[in-house]
Chain A
Amino acid sequence: MEEYLILMRLDLLTREAQPSPEQLQVYMKMYNDWVGGIAAQDKFVGGKGLSTEGKVIKPNNVVTDGPFVEIKESLAGFIMIKAKDFDDALAIAKECPILKGEGNSVEVRKVINK
């Protein structure tokens, strides 16, 4: 088994894009079912959701709320998984419920274990 990092990005900044508390509860359940399904295959290594609080620091001590001006996606969470190969990791990542939201994205990166 190889290890992969799954990074989840979504818009945490635009006020109108934020879910209501009820919606959030539904989203969290979908998210937990997804992670639970990974763990049930004994492929969950670790990872956490992230608070919406965050800053991005750039050279010359420039501190901003988001990564880029034109893109509003922030890192919302990350998990580490075990997978047979990249395709397996990709198949798992594709089911991430965050992808149901327009403009959101999931990035899969293989971890170098040497």
Chain B
Amino acid sequence: MPELIPHLFRTEYRKIVAVLCKHFGFRQIEIAEDIASDTFLVASQTWGIEGVPKNPTAWLHNVAKNKAINHLQRNALFENKISEQLKDNQDEVYEDDIDLSPLHINDSQLQMMFAVCHPSIPTEAQVGLCLRILCGFGIEEIADAFLSNKETINKRLFRAKEKLREENIPIELPNAFQIEERLQPVLTTIYLLFNEGYYSVSQNTPLKKDLCLEAIRLCTMLVENTLTNKPQANALLALMCFHISRFDARMNESGELVLYEEQDINLWNPDWISKGGYFLHCAASGDQISKYHLEAGIAYWHTQKNDSTEKWDNILQLYNQLLQIEYSPIAALNRTYALSKARGNEAAITEAEKLQLTNNFFYYLLLGELYAGINNEISKLHFDKALMLAKTPVDRQAVQKKVDAHFNN
């Protein structure tokens, strides 16, 4: 039982909140959350004494439903007493109103996703709200994931909920005409959520993996719905599947990052890789190439461990295209690395020196790497610069490893 309740909290809390919010509207989002939390409180008390019911999920849904109906009835009574006018349109609360069927739960969560990722909500708040409302994460976990504290996260979520109310954002799916446009911020949030887990410096590895899995779950909901099953959603899902296939290989036992070239290929998960392949295939319909398509293509080639000209040539071409759609320093550096693999270090050095990312730790790490064996003096100078710009012990370790590999053998 001690493990059952946290597990159910993770899977059921978000469903109850989504359905109740859908029913009450964002105006009463706190009440929806309170009812959901109360339900789990009752469960932990009752189950401790009477034992776990046969169907714990149904039990939870039932309690939540009754609490919601009680709340609505009490509310209706109160409003009728103070306002005579309301007598005429008194809403009777029927049990069927609170619909916790799997279909309705799914619909409510999907609608909630679009509401939370409404363009008027700041991006940072969107990710937090997603974690809280759609993934059922505790405030402490969110704080841990963002390397922040509970107070800050509480404030941020409070403001985000205020915004949902102020803007009077409806909990519904956009229509077919708006879907492409409204899908963008949803995909961005899922992508951020995944990256938060994948690249976070937090030491809490199980939590980081949970974040990644939640992002994959939300994106899976999108591709399972006909309206939202768009090529871009499939491409993003493929990208995340390819990345997460290496999750266990990226970290050693002491939680240190293991570089791609040094990863144990046996720790790569073939199931995730083949899932990624499936969704990449699904993404290939339509005539639009999004950044998710390109990044998924790059991630696909990274699942091929063996170095080949074909592999690096393809990665290079994909980065060439990606940078034309969206520039980022890290993509520019990765492109230059791919160039060195596909066209040799000399060609890559010429291109690297044009980048002039002189505040970037990875820039000097790359230059040091490219010059090694060509001009060791310059190579060492670049590694020194990298050491100066290193912010974390992990960064310093990465430089030292390279220096050792090239010069101290």
Contact = CB atoms under 8 A, between A and B. Distances in A.
B332 interface: yes
A42 interface: yes
A35 B324 CA distance: 8
Contacts of B211: none
B335 A40 contact: yes
A40 B355 contact: yes
Interface string B327-347: 100011001100100010000
B346 to A, nearest CB: 14
Given A41-B354, A42-B332, A36 B327 contact: no
What is the predominant secondary structure among interface residues of chain A facing chain B?
A: helix
Interface in B296-325: 313, 316-317, 319-321, 323-324
A44 B335 contact: no
A37 B351 contact: yes
Contacts of B343: 33
A40 B319 CA distance: 9
B323 A40 contact: yes
A111 to B, nearest CB: 18
Nearest to B356: A41
Interface residues of B, number: 19
Classify chain A's interface size: 10 to 19
A40 B316 contact: no
A50 B313 CA distance: 24
A44 B320 CA distance: 11
A33 B336 CA distance: 10
A39 interface: yes
A72 to B, nearest CB: 29
Interface in B370-405: none
A104 interface: no
A41 B333 CA distance: 10
Contacts, number: 45
A37 B335 CA distance: 9
Contact of A33 (B320, B327, B331): B320
B317 A32 contact: yes
Interface in A25-49: 29, 32-33, 35-37, 39-42, 44
A35 B320 contact: yes
Nearest to A32: B320
A36 B324 contact: yes
Nearest to B336: A40
B169 to A, nearest CB: 34
Q: Residue among B320, B323, B339, B351 with the most chain A CB within 10 A?
A: B320
Contacts of A37: 351, 354
Contacts of B324: 35-36, 39, 44
B351 A40 contact: yes
B360 to A, nearest CB: 13
A33 B327 CA distance: 15
Contacts of B356: 41
A36 B355 contact: no
B326 to A, nearest CB: 9
A29 B323 contact: no
Q: Residue among A35, A36, A41 with the most chain B CB within 10 A?
A: A36
Interface string B72-87: 0000000000000000
Contacts of B316: 33, 36
A42 B328 CA distance: 8
Q: Residue among A29, A32, A33 with the most chain B CB within 10 A?
A: A33
A37 B323 CA distance: 9
A37 B350 CA distance: 10
A40 B317 CA distance: 12
B320 A42 contact: no
Given A40-B332, A40-B336, A32 B354 contact: no
B323 A44 contact: yes
Nearest to A91: B354
A34 B343 CA distance: 13
Contacts of A35: 320, 324
Interface of B: 313, 316-317, 319-321, 323-324, 327, 331-332, 335-336, 339, 343, 351, 354-356
30 contacts: A29-B317, A32-B320, A32-B321, A33-B316, A33-B339, A35-B324, A36-B316, A36-B319, A36-B320, A36-B321, A36-B323, A36-B335, A37-B351, A37-B354, A39-B320, A39-B324, A40-B319, A40-B323, A40-B327, A40-B331, A40-B332, A40-B336, A40-B351, A40-B354, A40-B355, A41-B332, A41-B354, A41-B355, A41-B356, A42-B332
> Closest 6 A-B residue pairs measured CB to CB?
A36-B320, A39-B323, A40-B332, A42-B327, A32-B320, A39-B324
